[in-house]
Structure 1
Amino acid sequence: MIAKKQSPAKQKQTPTQDKLSRGESVEVARSGGESASGEALPEGWADVPIGDLCDLVNGRAFKPKEWSETGLPIIRIQNLNKAEAKYNHFDGEYADKHLVRPGELLFAWSGTPGTSFGAHIWNGPKALLNQHIFRVLIDEDDLNMTFFRFAINHKLEELIGKAHGGVGLRHVTKGKFEATQVPLPPLAEQSRIVSAIESLQERSSRARFLLSEVGPLIGQLRQSVLRDAFSGKLTADWREANPNVEPAFKLLSRIRTERRERWEAEQLAKYEAKGKQPPKNWQDKYKEPEPVDESELPELPDGWCWCQVGDLIESFDAGRSPTALSHPARDGEYGVLKVSAVTWREFDPNANKALKDGDEIGDTPTPRKGDLLISRANTVELIGAVVLVKADYPNLMLSDKTLRMNPASKELVPEYLLYGLRSESVRKFFEDNATGTSNSMRNLSQGKILDAPIALAPLAEQQAVADLLVTNDEACTSVASGLASMESSLTQLDQSILSKAFRGELVPQDPRDEPASELLARIRAKRVANSAKNTSKKKKATTAKAASNA
């Protein structure tokens, strides 16, 4: 079905438009004086309310039941912020005032501060405008559209400060938007300013693009070094310099012997506590570890061996997840860790929720210095994420989705275990054996964690592996921090460019340019003429309608 137009509805005039339609003078500009913020304006400039430079048309409140698979696309705020965002469509009658053509200026006046608000030049297809967005109608003979977009967006912080509503969803009223003042330079200077801003922003965008390519490379470097570490390549020179070290299978045998001895001692203690003698062949109840299937695992260097995580981790301590408050624990409060506390390589104690008054930690495990914590529930990519805790946190407790892993021997190097649990063989096993139907939340049982295959290096080499990986991680973290700093600097640079532009410092003024006061007078005159013309048309339409009803 082809969308049909209907006659535009009568629009309510703004106070400024009302004065213009009556031919009254509207004093709005201070030429060569000060801006609304108190900053000095260059000679030939003026400070003007937005509403005196444009007309605003709000979008239509399309209801979900009006959406269809065919017809014209509906422009919603997400379509302004994300080119790939999906459209809803409308296949019915619409007013021409709601039709947006490519190249029009739009302003999103409702949503989340920092993400939704802003002026955009529409580069999409011919479409219909949804509510919470204004069409910003200007005469491009008198006002550079791109300059006006920059000018409006330069005032976003001020506009958001005027917005109504709560923290999550706010809106700027039409009156406050129209009353917000923007600097207006001569028309010719507007074009020069736009050219300068776009040239500088192009360089800034190019720099951002290059920085964005470095981020993934850091992750690839971490993985590459980790892969080399647990294939033995990273410490090949170390082995050549240290040929006479105890092989890993002897360390593994010693750990298994110690574990069996601890188990036997525990069982005998239980029989003694009950006043009983152990039965015949009671030692046979001990479950020996299963051999690792190495058929699909890579070959390891001499002195290394494959084992299961369960050979190196003897037990788990699990937390609990009580109903908690929405904010992190403050001084004097207790908190429960969120999954995100162990998700991003480093333990994050701030990722917690405060417990309710009266709810105490009790005997629930708390993070301690040297603890290895693992998430048993998360997305496929993040499930089984492991961190090493570097301090005690007695006011925080583990949740039921976070487990503490207790090593089977004090001989094992904690950092080696940390990186070993992040190694390719372990990660693949975790991802393949996570259960659950939702991609957003998978589960990993303690048994599956223990069954994962892990490469075990000789004890002396474990420390060498750990030292090299820690050094590499610190270097990668330093580079990532530098990238974040550079990205922040680029954002500040972009803001500085706009600030200089609207102080008249980005391009030189040309005294031969028509001053903004004359430009504004011409805009006023045209708006008065258009307002009178529209009023005349409405009167004629009213007279004709009255005559037809006589």
Structure 2
Amino acid sequence: MTDSTRNLLEQHFDTAFAAPDGIARLRELILTLAMQGKLVEQDSNDPHASELLKEIEAEKQRLVKAGKIKKPKPLPPINPEEVPYELPPGWEWVRLGEVAEIVRGVTYSKSQASDVGSPGTIELLRANNINGTINFLETLYVPVELVSDYQRLQQGDILIAMSSGSPHLVGKAAPFFADRECTFGAFCGVIRASCERTFTFLHHYCQTPLYRKQTQKEGKGIGIQNLNKGALQNLYLALPPIPEQQRIVARIDQLMARCDALEKLRKQREEKRLAVHAAAIKQLLDPALRAFVPSCEPFDFLAQHFGELYTVKENVAELRKAILQLAVMGRLVPQDPNDPPASELLKEIEAEKQRLSSSSSPRRRGSSKPLPPIKPEEVPYELPQGWEWVRLGNTILNMDAGWSPKCESEPARDNEWGVLKTTAVQTLQFWPYENKALPEKLAPRPDTQVEENDILITRAGPKNRVGICCVAKPVHPKIMLSDKIIRFKIYGDLISPDYCALALNTGYGAEQIERMKSGMADSQMNISQDKVKQVIVAIPPLPEQHRIVARIDQLMALCNTLDKKIDAATDKQTEFLNAAMAQV
């Protein structure tokens, strides 16, 4: 290895620690340098790689003559334009089929496969068992008579995925060294070195960017990408002399061990950072600690260590959650004794309810069905002075859902009617452009038109998308409600819609909604209007609601800035790493 290569590697070890994918890129660099003959020194006393090729060819001829293998078809010579770089003395560009045999896997029917082994069966590996190494999770068992001797995995075989729905997974490879009887399925193949002394070098070749680039290029098919045997045989690689292969393998093992240690160190550092942050957040949120830890102390700790703690997005995400949780616990902004208590708000809501009870418009009339009183055991923690627990249904002016006609696939244009998709409702965010245009032949339903400050909740869909809440703003004209979205308003606007959405998305409100979801499968869940009305929320005085919403806006802007700084730092580290990699 030259001094420049050694310095380049050391520079990368420093850079890799900081960049998000730095260690993975460093491993690629090590393998790339190895395949270019730049990782170890050449020795003029080493026999030329062409001598190894002669040995392999002589052994093939012997096996053909003995009837053990078929005479291989000649492979095309390597064209000069295929060669990506110049090789050191003693090396040769070769086709993979010149130094290894490609074996296709076992074909079997569904009825012949079993999850459990039994006498007369053999364990079968598939593409899902390949991920850098071979795992033995969810293997199958097939009758042993389906398997030829060549299809039994041998020590040192390289198992590869020959078919996949993703071009990035076609050709993924892992060496087989397990002490167990196994075969492999038809969507897999095996690279079996013609010379045992080369198989470790070939293992490393199958992890290189050069190998991956070729297999992705050769993968054919629409939907499912396939590598055929001929394409694998035609892959090219740089073959060094056997003694140099052994030196290269030893050096790769040494450098990969350093990468492993670096990865472990970075993982420990990240775990420590996350744990310290989690402990500070817990002090902020745990009501049991409130009497012993003033709420400002954890905030002070976070502020003092901002630069260290908020260099990863996981911590920023946890900070966002903590801010919202503190808000609905009454610990984000100070209470003002001059604020009228929430109990007065509830009295005003009740008076408004009575006033509207005789209204002729059903849409302006609240539900007359009484809701059960809140039991002491339903209250999760003590509220600040002036706050009140209340069932959501007792604050609602009206609650309804929309309709779901068969719409166009594209969103409504200006002055066209459209129907909201459930994806328009995000956590505390409204995306009005997530809608579908209403066909001209259908008459719109103006009573389902979304209005400014409507509170929206997703009613049906995948489990992780049900119960999400936001305030409709800004609102586009002529956008109607879907029947998979619940809408409601508060009596007399006596509760901030933004605060109400916050209380339903966060903490105890979100926990209740999660428990209320029902359905046969996680892919299709729902929550009824009656259940939503049962949710218990903590209501502060109206002025405090507005202070909470304003403070959240400030702090979320700070979190957005932190995310952007992390992205900028990541981009800079990646740019630096790419610049260094470009030197290879």
Cα drift, residue 11 of structure 1: 7.3
Cα drift, residue 108 of structure 1: 1.0
In the alignment, the residues of structure 2 paired with residue 447 and residue 416 of structure 1 have an alpha-carbon distance, to the nearest angstrom, of 21
Cα drift, residue 373 of structure 1: 2.1
Write out per-residue CA displacement over residues 248-268 of structure 1, whole angstroms, 9 at most, x where no aligned residue: 111121122223323334379
Cα drift, residue 133 of structure 1: 1.1
Write out per-residue CA displacement over residues 421-456 of structure 1, whole angstroms, 9 at most, x where no aligned residue: 123332232233333332332221111111111000
**Secondary structure, in 3 states, of the residue corresponding to 2:374?**
coil
Write out per-residue CA displacement over residues 82-139 of structure 1, whole angstroms, 9 at most, x where no aligned residue: 9485222224332222222565312212112255323321466732201111101123
In the alignment, the residues of structure 2 paired with residue 113 and residue 269 of structure 1 have an alpha-carbon distance, to the nearest angstrom, of 51
Matched, 1:66 2:123: no
**Secondary structure, in 3 states, of the residue corresponding to 2:373?**
coil
In the alignment, the residues of structure 1 paired with residue 568 and residue 370 of structure 2 have an alpha-carbon distance, to the nearest angstrom, of 52
For residues 83 and 222 of structure 1, do their structure 2 counterparts lie closer, same or farther at Cα, with a shift above 3 Å needed? farther
In the alignment, the residues of structure 1 paired with residue 437 and residue 362 of structure 2 have an alpha-carbon distance, to the nearest angstrom, of 43
Q: Tell me the equivalent position of 2:60.
A: none
Matched, 1:251 2:306: no
In the alignment, the residues of structure 1 paired with residue 139 and residue 268 of structure 2 have an alpha-carbon distance, to the nearest angstrom, of 27
**Superposed, which structure 2 residues align to 1:312-331 within 5 Å?**
312-323=395-406, 329=411
Q: Tell me the equivalent position of 1:465.
A: 548
**Secondary structure, in 3 states, of the residue corresponding to 1:146?**
helix
Matched, 1:165 2:210: no
Q: Tell me the equivalent position of 2:302.
A: none
Cα drift, residue 287 of structure 1: 5.3
**Secondary structure, in 3 states, of the residue corresponding to 1:86?**
coil
Matched, 1:262 2:356: yes
**Superposed, which structure 2 residues align to 1:485-496 within 5 Å?**
none
**Secondary structure, in 3 states, of the residue corresponding to 1:230?**
helix
For residues 97 and 491 of structure 1, do their structure 2 counterparts lie closer, same or farther at Cα, with a shift above 3 Å needed? farther
RMSD after superposition: 4.3
Q: Tell me the equivalent position of 2:101.
A: 55
Q: 5+ unaligned residues in a row in structure 2: which ranges?
A: 1-66, 275-311
Q: Tell me the equivalent position of 1:301.
A: 384
Conservation of the 8 A alpha-carbon contact between 1:35 and 1:47: no
Cα drift, residue 293 of structure 1: 2.7
Cα drift, residue 302 of structure 1: 1.0
Matched, 1:92 2:144: yes
Write out per-residue CA displacement over residues 213-249 of structure 1, whole angstroms, 9 at most, x where no aligned residue: 65655554444433332222233xx12xx32111111
Matched, 1:41 2:93: no
For residues 434 and 119 of structure 1, do their structure 2 counterparts lie closer, same or farther at Cα, with a shift above 3 Å needed? closer
Q: Tell me the equivalent position of 2:329.
A: 231
**Secondary structure, in 3 states, of the residue corresponding to 1:175?**
helix
Conservation of the 8 A alpha-carbon contact between 1:420 and 1:454: yes
Q: Tell me the equivalent position of 1:279.
A: none
Cα drift, residue 460 of structure 1: 0.9
In the alignment, the residues of structure 1 paired with residue 136 and residue 423 of structure 2 have an alpha-carbon distance, to the nearest angstrom, of 28
Select the residue among 487, 501, 505 that pairs with 1:422: 505
**Secondary structure, in 3 states, of the residue corresponding to 1:306?**
strand
Matched, 1:131 2:186: yes
Cα drift, residue 79 of structure 1: 1.9
In the alignment, the residues of structure 1 paired with residue 237 and residue 440 of structure 2 have an alpha-carbon distance, to the nearest angstrom, of 50
Q: Tell me the equivalent position of 1:510.
A: none
For residues 269 and 209 of structure 1, do their structure 2 counterparts lie closer, same or farther at Cα, with a shift above 3 Å needed? closer
**Secondary structure, in 3 states, of the residue corresponding to 2:197?**
coil
Conservation of the 8 A alpha-carbon contact between 1:29 and 1:48: no
For residues 331 and 489 of structure 1, do their structure 2 counterparts lie closer, same or farther at Cα, with a shift above 3 Å needed? farther
For residues 368 and 218 of structure 1, do their structure 2 counterparts lie closer, same or farther at Cα, with a shift above 3 Å needed? farther
Q: Tell me the equivalent position of 1:517.
A: none
Select the residue among 137, 148, 152 that pairs with 2:205: 148
For residues 66 and 350 of structure 1, do their structure 2 counterparts lie closer, same or farther at Cα, with a shift above 3 Å needed? farther
Cα drift, residue 345 of structure 1: 5.3
Select the residue among 385, 395, 409 that pairs with 2:468: 385
**Secondary structure, in 3 states, of the residue corresponding to 1:300?**
coil
Q: Tell me the equivalent position of 1:106.
A: 159
Provide the identity percentage.
23
Select the residue among 477, 481, 491 that pairs with 1:408: 491
In the alignment, the residues of structure 1 paired with residue 270 and residue 438 of structure 2 have an alpha-carbon distance, to the nearest angstrom, of 40
Higher relative contact order (CA 8 A, sep 6+): 1
TM-score for both structures, normalised by structure 1? 0.69
In the alignment, the residues of structure 2 paired with residue 178 and residue 360 of structure 1 have an alpha-carbon distance, to the nearest angstrom, of 63
Matched, 1:292 2:374: yes
In the alignment, the residues of structure 1 paired with residue 444 and residue 196 of structure 2 have an alpha-carbon distance, to the nearest angstrom, of 66
Q: 5+ unaligned residues in a row in structure 1: which ranges?
A: 1-8, 21-25, 271-282, 506-550
Cα drift, residue 343 of structure 1: 5.0
Letter in 2 for 1:458: P
Select the residue among 502, 517, 535 that pairs with 1:434: 517
In the alignment, the residues of structure 2 paired with residue 350 and residue 211 of structure 1 have an alpha-carbon distance, to the nearest angstrom, of 38
Write out per-residue CA displacement over residues 358-397 of structure 1, whole angstroms, 9 at most, x where no aligned residue: 5676548465654432111245555311133443345865
Conservation of the 8 A alpha-carbon contact between 2:87 and 2:238: no
Q: Tell me the equivalent position of 1:181.
A: 236
**Secondary structure, in 3 states, of the residue corresponding to 1:118?**
coil
Q: How many residues align?
A: 461
For residues 178 and 481 of structure 1, do their structure 2 counterparts lie closer, same or farther at Cα, with a shift above 3 Å needed? farther
Choose 186-195 or 448-457, whichever is displaced more: 186-195
In the alignment, the residues of structure 2 paired with residue 250 and residue 409 of structure 1 have an alpha-carbon distance, to the nearest angstrom, of 13
**Secondary structure, in 3 states, of the residue corresponding to 1:107?**
strand
Cα drift, residue 419 of structure 1: 1.0
Matched, 1:75 2:125: yes
Conservation of the 8 A alpha-carbon contact between 1:366 and 1:393: no
Conservation of the 8 A alpha-carbon contact between 2:170 and 2:227: no
Cα drift, residue 474 of structure 1: 3.9
In the alignment, the residues of structure 2 paired with residue 268 and residue 412 of structure 1 have an alpha-carbon distance, to the nearest angstrom, of 21
In the alignment, the residues of structure 2 paired with residue 427 and residue 229 of structure 1 have an alpha-carbon distance, to the nearest angstrom, of 14
Letter in 2 for 1:78: N
For residues 103 and 484 of structure 1, do their structure 2 counterparts lie closer, same or farther at Cα, with a shift above 3 Å needed? farther
